[in-house]
Chains A and B, each alone.
Chain A
Amino acid sequence: MDLRFSAEELAFREELRGFIRDNLPDDIREKLQLGHKIEKPDLVRWQRILNKKGWAAFNWPKEWGGPGWTPIQRMMFLEEIQTFPAPEVNPFNVTMLGPVLIQFGSDEQKQRFLPRAANLDDWWCQGFSEPGAGSDLAALKTAARREGDHYIVNGQKIWTSTAHMADWCFCLVRTNPQAAKKQEGISFLLIDMKTPGITVRPIISIDGEHHLNEVFFDDVKVPVDMRVYEENKGWDVAKFLLGNERTGIARIGKSKERINFSKQKAKEMRAHGKPLSQDPEFRRRIAALETELKSLEITQLRVLSAQKANERRQDPLTAVLKLKGTELLQATTELAMDVAGPLAMPDWADELEALSNEPELGPVWATEATRGYLFLRAASIYGGTNEIMKNIVSKGVLGL
């Protein structure tokens, strides 16, 4: 047992760090440092830089344009990207769809979609949740009726992140309403968002932003060869995808970045006549968060080192990563907001976007820290709520 990284692993981390430092465009770096939002064109630009290096599809095998990294290397990549900070690669394309196609897709699907997904030529979104199927995902009703070489899709998806900017959607649909178990009548379809009959309606979230959407399907024709894996076996694909999603779910790098950010900003803020960074209560809060993060870091390494031997085993510890990881992500974004003090209150988003010639109303970082706090309340909801995760652990791991 040795928790230290090998010389090769440390050298690898240096290589990652060096590449990000030397290749992240200055304007994107500046936006991140100031706490500005990163919009789609910048995300595409950065992912293509990474893809040229062969790193964008960081969790894919070499055969399909990934770097073929070990679980530890993947973890290091995510952590370096998150702590630098640099924009993260598109999760729908890279961590969700990519592994699914590699595992279950036809050769034609792989060749057509994987290179474009890695290069962010196509922007994917995920059509899973429905108004009546949230935590109980298998209750989904969006119907796909077979007509010749096509499915005719009718129904509604909700909470569809980035659907408004997406080119394609991977979707769970019901192909057999008569199946004995609801999980057995579901298929996994790839749907071109330009197909007639698709309507995207925005949902504005509590951070005032437009990430989420409702997506309506009205007699949408989808070619049968856009189905991944067998008909009515879509639930297997979904389970695989959700399992993959949890590998990076701890987002330790992001929490670290929020702590570093808070420490920096606390030097500029004051409390009781001294810099906030010297306030014992503030420092104790940091100490407690860093302690929990350290422990989660080791837990994550335990999961990754076990993966080496048996890649697809569902490790019960991934539940710890999800539960603790999201708790800490929320606690650290909360910290960053609290550092701002009364400046946490104003919503300067519109002013910031207007790019007026007037002097800035106030620090951008404060408004963005609050936006991050508000947005990440979703961290314990998306990908399955933490309460559902506790149900799963109590049954699957603890045998209750």
Chain B
Amino acid sequence: MDFDLTDEQRLLRDSVDRLLADTYTFEKRKGYSAEPEGWSRALWSRYAELGILGLPFAEEHGGFGGGGIETMLVMEAFGRALAVEPYLTSVVLSGTALRLAGNAALQSELLPQIAQGKLTVAFAHGERQARYDLSDVLTTAKRKGGGWVIDGAKSVVTHGDSAGKLIVSARIGGERDDAAGIALFLVDAQANGVARRAYRLRDGMGAAEISLSGVEVGRDALLSEAGAAYPIIERVAEAGIAATAAEAVGAMETMQKMTLEYLKTRQQFGKPIGENQALQHRATEMFVALEQGRSLAMLAAMMVDEPDAAERQRNIAMVKAGVGQAARFVSQNAVQLHGGIGMTEEYAVGHYFRRCMVIEHSFGDTGYHLSRLAEQVA
């Protein structure tokens, strides 16, 4: 047991931090956000040059074969910088789906393109009626000729607005909630019958409501068949939880730092407000929450590749619930301790706050995972 990073991991962390330090001031971030897609293609190419877009992929696919720790390091840095690019959706979620689905042809076609920054892929799974239930899929795929016809709608698809391709879950058998009847397909975002309505999430990230009507795909678009697809969808969500746990830790770190700075400099009643014990204690409680959250993000990084499914799922659920609580506590108090300025659009704390709020409502919120855990109490 040890918590030390390898030299390679340290190098990775330092080079990502260095790149983001140059490119991610709060002002520059506003610029990226104002671009049509809500993020910077130029910066995306810099990520590709750095090699992080292929981080978790095998070398044969232009990647580095990185694991949970490597992803954690990158996501923490993104959390500190409040990066807006589609790393989570394209590299982590869709990357995990492609890696695990084991469709060799699609892997060698798509993973190198993702790694080189030429293609982003969104994971179009959630549906309006499903809330957080991963098996609640109504979108259908029916056989036609050698291929399939897909009909349905996908909701709150993060970065689905700008993605070149979509990984779409669709039911090829069974009724609503039947996990075994779900399959995964690769769909070109420009294909006939795909309609995307783009909008921004509360944290400024791009997203889309996607409708699919009579979308025809070929036999080779089947990423994973019914029966095999659902466990992959679960693993994708788990990878998302592990990655956003680290991102939330990065965001909490920055909020904590900004809050401490503010407590030391803001003067009221002739002294820094940080001399008030009520605020000191709150800041200490934020520190405790941050460190407890960091411990869970580390646990997630270790557990995301754990082969024992029950053990992995139980731990990841704890991570989601625990980090969700920590992030909510830190972000709410970061705004509170700043007072009025924390409420403003022009100040960064509120942006971190909203990123944490979006993270909490992704892949099942705190309550959802706590009740999952509660069901399993032996």
Chain A contact residues, CB within 8 Å of chain B: 1-6, 9, 72, 263, 277, 280, 283-284, 286-288, 290-292, 294-299, 301-302, 305-306, 316-317, 319-320, 323-324, 387, 389-391, 393-395, 397-400
Contacts and interface: CB of A to CB of B under 8 A. Distances in A.
Interface string B275-304: 101011101110110011101101101100
Contacts of A283: 374-375, 377
Contacts of B284: 319, 323, 389-390, 393-394, 397-398
Contacts of A398: 260, 280, 283-284, 287
Which applies to chain B's interface (DSSP): helix, strand, loop or mixed?
Answer: helix
B206 interface: no
Nearest to B69: A1
A305 B280 contact: no
B274 interface: yes
Given A1-B9, A4-B1, A391-B277, A287 B373 contact: yes
B292 A390 contact: no
Contacts of A4: 1, 302
Contacts of A323: 284, 288
Given A3-B299, A390-B285, A305 B1 contact: yes
B71 interface: no
Nearest to B72: A1
A399 B280 CA distance: 10
A317 B291 contact: yes
Interface in B1-30: 1-6, 9
A1 B3 contact: yes
B264 A6 contact: no
Contact of A280 (B264, B274, B374): B374
A293 to B, nearest CB: 9
A1 B378 CA distance: 31
Nearest to B67: A1
B252 interface: no
Given A287-B374, A298-B296, A320 B1 contact: no
The 10 closest A-B pairs by CB, nearest first: A298-B295, A394-B280, A287-B373, A283-B374, A284-B374, A400-B274, A390-B284, A287-B374, A283-B377, A291-B318
Given A3-B298, A295-B295, A305-B3, A288 B283 contact: no
B100 interface: no
B333 interface: no
A253 B274 CA distance: 36
Nearest to A280: B374
Question: Interface range on chain B: under 10, 10 to 19, 20 to 34, or 35 or more?
Answer: 35 or more
B330 to A, nearest CB: 13
Among B293, B321, B374: residue with most chain A CB under 10 A: B374
11 contacts: A1-B9, A287-B377, A288-B321, A290-B318, A294-B322, A295-B292, A295-B299, A299-B291, A391-B280, A398-B260, A398-B280
A4 B378 CA distance: 23
Given A1-B298, A4-B302, A72 B373 contact: no
A295 B378 CA distance: 20
Given A296-B295, A400-B260, A400-B263, A1 B5 contact: yes
A227 B302 CA distance: 49
Contacts of B298: 1, 3, 298, 302
B51 to A, nearest CB: 20
Contacts of B69: 1
B370 interface: yes
B2 A2 contact: yes
B120 interface: no
A291 B1 CA distance: 21
B291 A294 contact: no
A375 to B, nearest CB: 24
B1 A6 contact: yes
Contacts of A291: 318, 321-322, 370, 373
B254 interface: no
Interface string B317-357: 01001100000000000000000000000000000000000
Interface in B239-287: 260, 263-264, 274-275, 277, 279-281, 283-285, 287
Given A3-B299, A283-B374, A298-B298, A399 B322 contact: no
Contacts of B4: 1, 305
B315 interface: yes
B374 A294 contact: no
B371 interface: yes
Given A305-B1, A399-B264, A394 B292 contact: no
Contacts of A389: 284
A3 B322 contact: no
Interface in B357-378: 370-371, 373-378
A248 B300 CA distance: 25
B296 A295 contact: yes
A1 B302 CA distance: 8
A294 B288 contact: no
A160 B298 CA distance: 41
B378 to A, nearest CB: 7
B311 to A, nearest CB: 11
A319 B260 CA distance: 18
Contacts of B275: 400
B374 A3 contact: no
Given A305-B3, A397-B287, A398-B260, A263 B296 contact: no
Nearest to B256: A398
Contacts of A305: 1-4
Among B281, B376, B377: residue with most chain A CB under 10 A: B377
A302 B318 CA distance: 18
Contact of B281 (A5, A290, A292, A394): A394
B370 A400 contact: no
Contacts of A299: 291-292, 295
A373 B371 CA distance: 26
